Amino acid sequence: MKDLERIGEDLDVLLRRLGMPMVPDLSRLVEGWESLAGAPWASLSRPAGLRDGILVVEVDDGTAASLLKYHEQALLKRLERGLGSRFVSEVRIRVSTRKKGS
Give the span between the Cα atoms of 87 and 32, in whole angstroms: 14
* Backbone region of residue 26 per phi and psi (left: phi > 0; alpha: psi in -120 to 50; beta: other values): alpha
Residue 6 lies in a domain: no
Give the strand pairing for 54-59 and 90-95. parallel
Q: What is the pTM of this model?
A: 0.73
Quote the radius of gyration of the chain (alpha carbons, Å).
Answer: 15
Residue 72 lies in a domain: yes
pLDDT digits (tens, 9 = 90+) for 42-90: 999 999 988 888 999 999 999 999 999 999 999 999 999 998 877 899 9
Give the count of domains, the chain: 1
Residue 2 lies in a domain: no
Give the pLDDT of residue 18: 59
DSSP string, 24-65: HHHHHHHHTHHHHH-TTHHHHEEEEEEETTEEEEEESSHHHH
Give the pLDDT of residue 57: 96
CATH number at residue 41: 3.30.300.180
pLDDT digits (tens, 9 = 90+) for 11-36: 666 666 655 555 567 788 889 999 99
Give the pLDDT of residue 26: 75
Give the pLDDT of residue 6: 62
